C-alpha cells in the first residue's frame, strides 16, 4: 500500500507535511497550535495561521513523525543533523517510538523510515506494524 503524503504550503519556502498513516492521534499538534490544526475543517492544517518558527517547534514535538516540514528557505546550517543511531522509547499505555533511519520489511515490501515512527504494542492497530491510536479505545495499559 502506498503512503499518502499531504503538503500544506505556507508561502513558497515552507510547507507542513502530513503522513496520515503515521499519525497516532496524540493531539499535541491541536493542543499546541489550535489556530493551525483544525481536525473538523477541510483543509485541516492551516499553516498560514502561525509563524514558521512556531510551526517548526510544534512539528518537532510530533511523537509519531506524522508531521514534518520542508523549509527551502533555511540556510545549510539550519538543517537538523541526521541521527547517528536508532533510539527507542516505550510510551506507557501506548506505542514504542523509534527515532532514526530504519530499513523496514513488511510482507516482502521494503520501506525506508526516517525520523520518528510509532509502532503498535497493543495489537489493536488497523495499520500494523504502526500505531494508529487504537490503544486508547481498548484501554491498553502495559
Which domains does the chain show, CATH number per domain? Answer: 6-72 (3.30.70.20), 87-136 (3.40.5)
How are beta strands 6-10 and 14-18 bridged, if at all?
Answer: antiparallel
Name the stretches of the chain with pLDDT < 70.
1, 74-84
| Reported pTM | 0.68
Q: What's residue 72's pLDDT?
A: 87
| pLDDT value at residue 1 | 55
Amino acid at each position: 500500500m502506498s503512503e499518502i503524503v499531504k503538503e500544506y504550503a505556507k508561502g513558497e519556502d515552507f510547507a507542513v507535511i502530513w503522513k496520515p498513516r503515521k499519525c497516532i492521534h496524540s493531539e499535541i499538534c491541536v493542543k499546541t497550535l489550535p489556530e493551525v490544526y483544525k481536525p473538523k475543517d477541510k483543509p485541516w492544517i492551516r499553516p498560514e495561521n502561525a509563524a514558521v518558527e512556531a510551526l517548526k517547534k510544534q512539528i518537532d514535538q510530533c511523537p509519531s513523525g506524522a508531521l514534518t516540514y520542508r523549509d527551502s528557505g533555511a540556510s545549510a546550517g539550519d538543517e537538523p543533523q541526521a541521527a547517528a543511531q536508532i533510539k527507542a522509547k516505550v510510551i506507557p499505555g501506548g506505542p514504542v517510538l523509534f527515532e532514526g533511519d530504519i530499513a523496514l520489511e513488511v510482507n516482502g515490501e521494503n520501506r525506508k523510515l526516517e525520523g520518528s515512527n510509532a509502532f503498535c504494542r497493543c495489537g489493536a492497530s488497523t495499520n500494523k506494524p504502526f500505531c494508529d491510536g487504537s490503544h486508547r479505545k481498548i484501554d491498553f495499559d502495559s
